[in-house]
Amino acid sequence: MQRTIGAHGHRMQYAAVDTALLDTALLSRSATATVADARDDARAAPDGGASRLPDTALPDTALPDAFDIALSRAWERATDRSTIEAGRRTQRVEGAALEAGLDSFDLEPKFGSWGGPNTGTCMRTWGFPGDCERGAAGTWALGFGSRDDISPHGLWSLEDCSERCRRCARCRWISLSHAHQQCDWYSSCNTSKLRRMFGAETFKTRLVKPD
């Protein structure tokens, strides 16, 4: 597959001109140097360049187009040991947290504590965190990016989001969706008119602070 991509990848590009077919006289000195540098980098690799795209992706007499360069660098990054190990660590930690959050989401009853269906959201929140002191609604992103003093491991589940809501003065209701990677909070909610269109059907709503 690598050889096929290397041989034909230049045909798939956004430019109107196939740079691989340009005469070398049209290529600048810096362009020629780019080709030489890329080839020297590959040959200087511990495996002699075997872990990179084949030479067909970097012709000696032509400037490699953006598609070839992107594939070559992507392959280089994909085979880098430190990158691979970092990815494995992320999968182990974040993967386990996400799996637990999904399991919890699936176990959530189909009807809320108010007696009606809990699928959907209370209102649009427009993606902003909101103001816990004076606001009416907001959005918290799921994942490690949401880590703070309240949620040191981030938000992954309805339980995590509920705990964040308890620390937010104006929050009484939450809606969470792993598909949208967000937890919305609200100060009020009309449960008889939960929104269930345009992706809102992937949310589940919960009353966190009863009157």
User: What's the average pLDDT block by block, 10 residues per block, for the chain (211 residues)?
Assistant: 59 52 51 54 56 49 64 81 79 79 91 94 91 96 74 83 94 96 96 93 95 78
Residue 95, CA distances (Å) to 87, 90, 116, 180, 192 in order = 11, 7, 32, 17, 35
* pLDDT for residue 65: 63
Look up residue 33 and give its two tokens: 């140097």
- Cα–Cα dist 104/135, whole Å: 28
* pLDDT for residue 123: 94
Phi, psi at residue 125, to the nearest 5°?
Answer: -115, -10
Task: Walk me through the domains of the chain, giving residue ranges and CATH numbers.
Answer: 2-79 (no CATH), 109-207 (3.50.4)
* pLDDT for residue 9: 56
Which residue(s) pair with 102 in the sheet?
Answer: none
Look up residue 75 and give its two tokens: 């392959």
- Taking the whole predicted model, whether its pTM rises above 0.75 is answered as no
Which secondary structure element, helix H or strand E, spans residue 139, and what is its range?
strand 137-141
Residue with tokens 């050889």: 3
Sheet of 204-207, strand order: 137-141, 182-186, 173-177, 204-207
